[in-house]
Structure 1
Amino acid sequence: MLADELTALADLLEPRAYPHPVERVEGLSTHISQLFLAGDFAYKLKRPVSLGFVDFSTLERRRFYCEEELRLNRRLAPQLYLAVVPVVREGERVRFGAQGEGEGEVIDYAVRMRRFPQQALLSQKPLEGPLIDRLAERVADFHASLVPAPADTPYGEPAAVLAPMLDNFEPLRAAIATLEAPEEAAAARCLQRLERWTRKRFARLSPELEQRRRGGYIRECHGDMHRGNIVVLDGEPVIFDCIEFNPSLRWIDTMSEIAFLTMDLAESGAHGLARRLLNRYLEVSGDYAGLRLLRFYQVYRALVRAKVSAIQRLQAISEESDAASAKARQRMQHYLALARSCTGRHHPQLFITHGLSGSGKTWLGHRLREHLPIIQIRSDVERKRLFGIPEQHRPPAHQDVPLYGAEATERTYRRLLALARELIAAGFSVLVDATFLAHAQRAPFLALAEELQCPCRILSLQAPMPLLRERISARNGAGNDASDADIDVLSLQIAQREPLTEAEHRHAVFLNTAAPMQIESVLARITGHNRTSRRH
């Protein structure tokens, strides 16, 4: 660090350097940034470094990337990112100026941000389902607002996707070589398997990667979306700290962003909430096709974290810091194990629900997907998606017939069947959430399971009529669900429903939802039914 840079930083630690009242200033430093916490605000400077992946070496570059940081982060956190301000020298004094200020010699630029308490970070808070739902919806809406990468850019090209993945392995090999013999051999084998898996998976998915690029799924995303870059303000998740310094790290497949966030949640032990976030994101976005790439990107994201830990271990060894070296080793091995777990094979299963409106099909699906690795697809959501209707929008009465007529219902079940086929082929278990009151609606799904040789179960839910009416009235009154079924629809369902056939009974698990269901007992019944089915 240059002497004049040290002098400037020392001046900026003084309260008088700020255009607002400050009692105390705290400075924080990373390898590419300098942060000053001053009263209600924080000021972030780019350090004048050139490290290959980032170049802040000139004043104009630092100004440009400050403006990029403001532009990118105001998409998701406008309440936090306020302005780009100059750092000015007046005689012997260095201070922060105001936006657009022309007095003094401008020697640098900073992003001015509003501060928040560190305990508000998602990484510091207990994780709760409703908050995860809102986060999933926020990300899905954000992705939908982005424009696809221009066709003449390299972003999203298969070779450009693979290159950073392969860059992970050399630093990991170097760090693994520093381990003791038994650990070194095991870690080396794990890394070898991960590299082989990455290359084989890439070869298989290359056409899919190109299809995603041409389909417009490469967008200017956040790039570094994890719990440590999400703060909860007034009960709502606010995502901050986009990657501004390297466009190739943010012009990525939207599914890569979801892979990072779900991997990060799973790393914390919140596997159920990771599945909850994924399911809610898919319900809002409809991007079920992207699931083919999910595990591919999850492995990549876990290996990036492992590589960072590997670099930290090598640095700690060079500095003879045993404690830091041991901590980095532990984290590196932790992320290697996590990456390895993401490559595991899953044997898909197919579940379909069966029951009248209000019987608890969606309620059950929402809870099962936090306990089982399943993707829930809802007829209420997909029906409206086919007609371009927002999920919770209730169409006017004169539109009800086209939306809920026989042709629309047939189209909806065809859509559900196609999605189930696609997801099972991609290696995911599926729960299809629909009434399935007609034999003709159930039969194609049982045939699909037989064709794809995966177990199929019919979750048949029942409840007394007064309770069904009560639930439907309460749901319609709340107005926060995709279902439009009312009491008249329930009466029509009762008149037209067809009971399960004898053959269908062999696949059925009957559940009475009149009393509160314990999810553990439901899981036990499903598991027991699966064992019985295999014996037959």
Structure 2
Amino acid sequence: MAQSVTMNRHATTTDPVDPTLPLALRRQLQASTGEPVALVETHISWVLLTSSLAYKLKKPVRLAFVDFSTLAARRHFCAEELRLNQLHAPGLYLDVLPVCGTPQAPRLGAADDESAEPIDYVVRMRRFPDGMLLRELLLSGRLDAVELDGLAERLASLHAAAPVAEAASGFGAPERVEGAVMAALDGLEAACGAARILSLRRWVEARVQGLRMAWLLRQRTGAVRECHGDLHLANVVRLDGRLLPFDCIEFDPALRWIDVMSDLAFLTMDLKAHGRTDLAFRFLDRYLQHSGDFEGLPVLRFYEVYRALVRAQVACLRAPSGAGQPDAEDYLRCAEDIVRRAERAPRLLITHGLSGSGKSTMAGQLLELAGAVRLRSDVERKRLFGLPALARSADRGIDIYTPEATRRSLARIAEGVRLALHAGYPTIVDAAFLRRAERASFRALAASLRLPFAILDLRASPAQLRHRVAARLAEGGDPSEADAAVLERQFAFHEALDAQERAIAITTETEPRPEAATLCALWMAGA
């Protein structure tokens, strides 16, 4: 960052900010459009809203966390805001316009006199309809869970393409992570009292030392990248039929260059704080299927607690929330619930069934109810060969179903299972497991960790299996490549559960679909 716009964290301006320019711009826009123009004010910006466009003007302030006090700084950060947000929401952020003239008589865009110097800059955006924020969609019951799947995949793709932090930058270092969460705790202690956050502080302090090596490993393996930085539910909008992140942090690189799991944790935490833990784990599942970043699971819960503390701190400073919107106490309770879940013993469940028996459908429902992590064999096998989940291996001329490929795929899944279980998550392996030796290897893995193990045994009639496999192939939206020929071979070589396996199996027919809540309760109650 250029020296002229480097943030001064020790000096702040306390004088009122002169509103002459935004008020004059409002009059000018009203005159040019012939319609009312709304003016929205935050602590660091003014936003002018016409019926179709929004113009964001940064306040000339210098605060503890941001310095917009010079024209050069405001120009720089307008350009940064455009650059960063066009990556996340390209249809929303349009351009940066100079403001010429005088504060009393400003003109948007280039001046007629080319020698005239701009007096300020605005970021021009499309105005999206009211009620389209993810938080609003969730609270009003207008959110389709499938939309979250698309957002999870989009976020994973953005993270994969984002620049990686240089090691010398210090971004993502253990001392930075620790410093950030301790600052949040200190701020909440001042607002809520030491007694209210004592248990959270103790949990954080206990986790910091244990996660130090994990943070170093994340930093060294490229997990610290240029992210959104402020990915709560009010910073995601439905636009052109898609959920898109917007309003990412442009003014402080330290808040943006973070572990991708810290970015993800903001959104999963906020879903939990809004009472939708089921959607949080659905979102996590789809993100992991797309990214494969199971190595990030050991740090995810810590980042969720940190994000809850930050939102609690913000809630202490703002006006009371609207109906259904979490306040500071809600976010603190969310952090405490995340801690309680982290203290429960995890367990392992593998599915068992022929193609079309409903394994993936039921695993998806169970992970939402149990707060579990899933590893899906169809997805992980393709990842091993560098294929997207929905790619057809035959179209690429690759045989991914050789015995060696199966061995490597199961080894990859087992490593992901270890990561998830060590991180404290109930874990589901979504695979056919038609061979007894393969089932035994995962039972042995759970035994080595002294954790409960169960088999979800799913059954359907041959006619129903054939129907489902054909329908799935016709739809083309599932990672499984099993066709009728594969199913017929499975009938021939399938090794049924033996007596020992039946003793720990949860067996159910999937005609009609079983109640997922009942199966989840049976899994959680198993020894």
Q: How far apart, CA to CA, are the structure 2 residues paired with 1:108 and 1:405?
A: 64
Identity fraction in percent: 44
Q: Is the 8 A contact 2:24 2:106 kept in 1?
A: yes
- Which residue of 2 is the match for residue 340 of structure 1? 336
- Aligned 1:192-341 pairs, distance under 5 A: 192-312=198-318, 331-341=327-337
Matched, 1:38 2:50: yes
Query: Which one-letter code corresponds to 1:46 in the other structure?
Result: K
Query: Against the structure 1 CA distance between its residues 479 and 326, is the aligned structure 2 distance closer, same or farther, given a 3 Å change threshold?
Result: closer
CA contact (8 A) 1:83 1:99 kept: no
The C-alpha deviation readout for 1:397-439, integer Å capped at 9, x for no partner, is 6845x31011111111122222212211111111101111111
Shift of 1:118: 2.1
- Structure 2 counterpart of 1:170, from 161, 177, 186: 186
1:47 equivalent to 2:45? Answer no
The 5 A counterparts of 1:120-519 are 120-125=132-137, 126=141, 127-177=143-193, 188-312=194-318, 331-344=327-340, 345-396=343-394, 399=397, 402-519=399-516
Scaled by the length of structure 1, the TM-score of the pair is: 0.90
Secondary structure of 1:36's counterpart equals: strand
Distance 1:477 1:300 in 2: 44
Q: Name the aligned partner's letter for residue 176 of structure 2.
A: A
CA RMSD of aligned residues (A): 2.3
* Equivalent residue number for residue 37 of structure 2: 25
How far, CA to CA, are the matches of 1:195 and 1:70 in structure 2? 37
Tell me, in whole angstroms, the C-alpha distance in 2 between the residues paired with 1:23 and 1:225: 33
What does the per-residue CA deviation read over 1:438-459, in whole Å, with 9 as the maximum and x for residues that have no partner? Answer: 1110111111222212111111
The alpha-carbon deviation at position 101 of structure 1 amounts to 8.5
Query: Which residue of 1 is the match for residue 9 of structure 2?
Result: none
Secondary structure of the residue that 1:432 maps to in structure 2? strand
Aligned to 2:388, the other structure's residue is in SS state coil
Amino acid paired to 1:384: K
What's the TM-score once normalised by structure 2's chain length? 0.91
CA distance 1:101–1:456, shift in 2 (3 Å): farther
Task: Name the residue aligned to 2:21.
Answer: 8
Deviation of 1:176 (Å):
2.4
1:15, distance to aligned residue in structure 2 (A): 4.0
Deviation at 1:461, TM superposition (A): 0.9
Which amino acid letter does the alignment assign opposite residue 50 of structure 1?
R
- Greater shift after overlay, 416-425 or 403-412? 416-425
Moved more, 37-46 or 3-12: 3-12
Unaligned runs of 5+ in 1: 178-187, 317-323
Which is further off, 462-471 or 275-284?
462-471
Which stretch has the larger CA shift, 47-56 or 85-94?
85-94
Question: Counterpart amino acid of 1:414?
Answer: A
Kindly state the Cα deviation for residue 110 of structure 1 after the two structures are TM-superposed.
Answer: 0.6
Q: Give the deviation of 1:215 after TM superposition.
A: 0.3
User: What do the CA deviations read for 1:357-410 (whole angstroms, capped 9, x no partner)?
Assistant: 11110011111111111111111000001111111000226845x310111111
Is 2:24–2:104's contact at 8 Å kept on the other side of the alignment?
no
Instruction: Please say if residues 15 and 24 of structure 1, whose CA atoms lie closer than 8 Å, have aligned partners that are also in contact.
Output: no
In 1, Cα distance between the equivalents of 2:189 and 2:147?
Answer: 39
Aligned match of 2:96: 84
Instruction: Give the Cα separation in 2 of the matches to 1:486 and 1:101.
Output: 70
Q: 1:63-88, CA deviations, whole angstroms, 9 ceiling, x for partnerless residues? A: 00000000000001111111111111
Letter in 1 for 2:19: L
Asked if the contact 1:354/1:460 (under 8 Å) is kept, the reply is yes
Q: Deviations over 1:297-339 (max 9, x none)?
A: 0111011112223345xxx8xxxxxxx6999xx9222222221
Flag the 1:121–1:311 CA change in 2: closer, same or farther, 3 A: closer
1:117 has 2:129 as partner: yes
Shift of residue 4 of structure 1? 9.4
The letter for the 2-side match of 1:339 is A
Aligned to 1:458, the other structure's residue is in SS state strand
Is the 1:11–1:95 contact (alpha carbons within 8 Å) kept by the matching residues of 2?
no
Any idea what the Cα deviations from partners look like across 1:52-105, whole Å, max 9, x if unmatched? Answer: 210000000000000000000000111111111111115951232259984644
Counterpart amino acid of residue 394 in structure 1: R
Q: Distance in 2 between matches of 1:44 and 1:100?
A: 23
AA partner of residue 285 (structure 2): N
Q: 1:511 is paired with a residue of what secondary structure?
A: strand
Deviation larger for 502-511 or 59-68: 502-511
Between the aligned partners of 1:369 and 1:56, the Cα distance in structure 2 is: 45
Q: Which amino acid aligns with 2:352?
A: H
